[in-house]
A = this chain, B = another copy of it.
Amino acid sequence: MYTRPLARLIEELQRLPGIGAKSAQRLALYLLSRPAEEVEGLAEALLGAKRQVRLCSRCFNWSEVDPCEICASPRRDGRTICVVADVRDLLALERTQEYRGLYHVLGGVISPMNGIGLEQLRGRELLARVGKEQPEEVIFAIGPTVEGEVTVQVLARYLREVLPGIRLTQLAFGLPVGAELEFADEVTLARALEGRRGV
């Protein structure tokens, strides 16, 4: 039904996450209606990103340079390493502009159900790095799911073996700013109570 090159484009677009048959058709027809420069710009951006962006060999952030911009910056504090599951979490933390230390991207969380242990993540690299760099603190910025908590506990145990006396912390859990207390779920509320602070 579609002319061949259009069918191929729709097929390729449909392979992207969150893009179904309808969205793929809509995007493909939109692109056909745009000037050639615009479509070429998108194609070049795709190829450029894939060719030029690599994983940082120190923290596993995506970067054009290795070590990445964050690891190489003289303004970042190498005494703190923040462990995140995913690059998206790193980007979310960077958006706060509150954190000045370094990162370590695990690439997921421990999930026995899905066959993901420390070996499938960059856990070994974290232990080696902490042994070598001797940071003062490792902050776990990992979501409070069951799997996230297990990941933190397992890594914490190994990190204490590698570097006894290291300060290990994790993000505070509690009420989201602006949230109505009555609508908070019980687990969040329990965590907020447990983590209560002096006023």
Mark interface residues in A1-28 (1 if CB within 8 Å of B CB, else 0): 1111110110111011110000101111
Which residues from 82 to 102 on chain A have a C-beta closer than 8 Å to any C-beta of chain B?
Answer: 87-88, 91, 94-95
Residues of B within 8 A of A41 (CB): 12
Complex contact A49–B32 (CB within 8 A): yes
Which residue on chain B has the smallest CB distance to residue A37?
B50
Also in contact, A18 and B8, with CB within 8 A (given A50-B40, A62-B32)? no
Establish whether residues A48 and B9, one from each chain, have CB atoms under 8 Å apart when the complex forms.
yes
- A55 smallest CB distance to B (angstroms): 9
Q: Is the CB of B94 within 8 A of A9?
A: no
**Residue of B at shortest CB range from A23?**
B18
9 contacts between A and B (CB under 8 A): A5-B49, A9-B49, A11-B45, A16-B30, A16-B31, A31-B46, A32-B62, A39-B50, A46-B46
- Smallest Cβ distance from A138 to chain B, in angstroms? 22
Q: How many residues of A contact B (CB 8 A)?
A: 52
Q: How far is the CB of A173 from chain B (nearest CB, A)?
A: 23
**Which 3 A-B pairs rank lowest in CB-CB distance, beginning with the nearest?**
A9-B49, A12-B45, A43-B43
Cross-chain contact of A1 among B1, B36, B39, B91 (Cβ < 8 A):
B91
A91 to chain B, nearest CB (A): 7
Q: Quick check: B29 and A88 within 8 Å, CB to CB?
A: yes
Which residue of chain B has its CB nearest to the CB of A46? B43
> Which listed segment binds B: A63-71, A139-147, A158-166, A174-182?
A63-71
A40 cross-chain contacts in B, Cβ below 8 A: 47, 50
Q: Are A48 and B3 in contact (CB under 8 A)?
A: no
Cβ-based interface call for A193 (8 A): no
